[in-house]
Amino acid sequence: MHLTRKTCIALILVLSLISSCQNLAQGEHPLPTDSLTGGQSVVDSEMTAEQEAQVFSDWIREHHEPIRSLTAEATDDLDFLEPYLRGKRLVQLGEMAHGVAELNALRTRLIKYLHEVLGYDVIAFESSVFECAYLETSDLSARDKLLASLFGVWHTEEVLALFEYVQSTQTTDRPLHLVGFDVQISSLSTAAALRPQFLKDVVSKIDVDYGNRVFELDTEVLNGIAASAADGSYWDEHGPGMVAEYEALVTFLDAHMETLLAQFPETPQLPLLARQTAWSMARYVQALQADDFASYLAIRDQSMADNVDFILDRLYPGAKVVLWAHNAHIRYANEKVVGNAAWQGQKTMGAWIAERHPGEVYAIGGYAYSGQVAQNDQQVIEIPAAMPGSLESILHQAGEEILFVDFSRQVQEAGNGWMFREIPAHEFAGVLAPLKMVPRDQYDAVLFIEKVTPPRYLY
């Protein structure tokens, strides 16, 4: 389906407003390369399709890690992760759709393990830089903090369990820090209530008059987002000037950062957050001016990678980070994936991150064999029957309810040839549709759940 620029921008803003109103990803995986396998698998050319399927089935039964439970407190069944994650500073946890209860619950359990056992101290969500980081130290309950920070697709009981865990760590010697990396606004109500004043307070430490102007700018932009959902042309008129003002603010904050850090000795993350919030808004408004949805996505994904760099290099230097996002964002070579038109040919965040942090990243895709998932508007849809030869049909042969399969350490042979060649896999990105990809070029591993259900939403 072809979407005009005006329609795309209107859709983006409407979805943002809907989410706001609901508030009140030891062995190193090489970067994707055509020279690795050429898209061909090592199989006997005389093998029939049925024989090959049996070879794949036999292999997966012997080469997977079963996971006992979605929610168990004991973690011995997750100890297999340690050698795979040795030396990995960033673990990306993906999802084939935003609305999958079991993937939410499983990632919540994995994050607890990664924090308690393997020393990962930051959880970064595909949600707003400002809303997530600013609210981390607030007095809000875990539920209210969740509703005020993340996109509405994750306002669920399963993710609430993670926020309750994050809350419980805040008074310990090793709190689990909550941050976001998206340039989009995940809670317009939170941003409107808190962000202009926050930016003003930081800037006014240096220049009171400029702080007042920044308050006016940010208020104007947020009002524009609220008012322009049906008319993308708003950004043609106002966007360039807004981008220039936010970029000037970034320059100002960079120039005075040393002084500002001294002004916030107890909370040095705040001036850094102000800087990255301004930078993110410049990129977001720039994206809203894009000529088409593909251009919008390109700006967004590269900017998300830049925000991940900010988290790794400036906000929490030296810390190990877990990143929560859709599969499409964490893939190493999404531009090679064939399928959903909105993402066709798009280089996404995962590729940028892997290029900048070689050897430090481990990306885990998330998939399911059967059941139901929720669309972004909470409407429930059935997962179609797995296609023969698909990723789901092969993983299903392991006979487990929940499992993990590593790709990064595999040497190509007949039994694992499927992960080295283009095969189908179902994913929701606007529609639930089969994509075609070479699994090992895209991820270091996958999590797989036999049957899934929609999340239990909080409202």
Q: For 40-67, what is each residue's pLDDT tens digit?
A: 444 455 789 999 999 999 999 999 999 9
- Give bridge partners of residue 365 from the DSSP assignment: 446
Helix residue spans in 86-140 (DSSP H): 101-116, 129-135
Residue 8 has pLDDT above 60, yes or no: no
The predicted model gives 378-386 an average pLDDT of 96
Residues 230 and 251: their CA atoms lie apart, in Å, by: 32
Q: Which of 171-175, 248-252, 287-291, 340-344 has the lowest mean pLDDT?
A: 340-344
Cα dihedral 32, 353, 110, 372, rounded to 10, equals: -70
Residue-level pLDDT at 18? 46
The predicted model gives 91-111 an average pLDDT of 99
Single-letter amino acid code for the residue at 153: V
Domain 5-185+293-452 sits in CATH 3.30.70.420 = no
Residue 33 has pLDDT above 80, yes or no: no
Residue-level pLDDT at 183? 99
Residue-level pLDDT at 366? 99
- Give bridge partners of residue 403 from the DSSP assignment: 66, 448
Residue-level pLDDT at 451? 99
Name residues whose C-beta falls within 8 Å of residue 411's C-beta, 6 or more positions apart in sequence.
none
Residue-level pLDDT at 35? 30
Residue 7 has pLDDT above 80, yes or no: no
Helix residue spans in 117-255 (DSSP H): 129-135, 142-149, 157-169, 188-203, 208-227, 233-255
Residues 93 and 254: their CA atoms lie apart, in Å, by: 32
Residues 383 and 373: their CA atoms lie apart, in Å, by: 7
Residue 359 in tokens: 């050897």
Q: Please name which of 336, 395, 325 lies closest in space to residue 36, comparing C-alpha atoms.
A: 336
The predicted model gives 307-323 an average pLDDT of 98
Residue 229 has pLDDT above 90, yes or no: no
The predicted model gives 276-287 an average pLDDT of 98
Residue 298 has pLDDT above 50, yes or no: yes
- Give bridge partners of residue 380 from the DSSP assignment: 374
What's the mean per-residue pLDDT of the chain? Answer: 91
Residues 302 and 305: their CA atoms lie apart, in Å, by: 5
pLDDT digits (tens, 9 = 90+) for 122-136: 999 999 999 999 999
Which letter does DSSP use for residue 364 in this model? E
pLDDT band at 34 (very low <50, low <70, confident <90, very high): very low
Q: Please name which of 217, 224, 218 lies closest in space to residue 289, comparing C-alpha atoms.
A: 224
The predicted model gives 254-278 an average pLDDT of 98
The answer to whether 243 touches 293, Cβ cutoff 8 Å, is no
Residue-level pLDDT at 98? 97
The answer to whether 244 touches 294, Cβ cutoff 8 Å, is no
Q: Which of 51-65, 141-155, 182-196, 222-236 has the lowest mean pLDDT?
A: 222-236
pLDDT band at 14 (very low <50, low <70, confident <90, very high): very low
Residue-level pLDDT at 371? 98
Q: Which of 6-20, 97-111, 251-265 has the lowest mean pLDDT?
A: 6-20
Residue-level pLDDT at 364? 99
Token pair 């990809």: residue: 437
Residue 457 has pLDDT above 50, yes or no: yes
Residue-level pLDDT at 344? 83
Residue-level pLDDT at 446? 99
Residue 324 has pLDDT above 90, yes or no: yes
Residue 28 has pLDDT above 60, yes or no: no
Residue-level pLDDT at 9? 56
Residue 276 in tokens: 């990255």
Single-letter amino acid code for the residue at 353: I
Residues 265 and 287: their CA atoms lie apart, in Å, by: 35
Neighbours of 57 (CB within 10 A): 16
Domain parsing of the chain, residue ranges = 5-185+293-452
Residues 130 and 194: their CA atoms lie apart, in Å, by: 10
Residue-level pLDDT at 41? 46
Please give the full DSSP string across 229-284, using - where no structure is assigned. TT-THHHHHHHHHHHHHHHHHHHHHHHTHHHHHHH-SS-THHHHHHHHHHHHHHHH
Give, in order, the Cα–Cα distances in Å from 324 to each of 192, 423, 447. Answer: 25, 24, 13
Bigger pLDDT: 30 vs 424? 424
pLDDT band at 1 (very low <50, low <70, confident <90, very high): very low
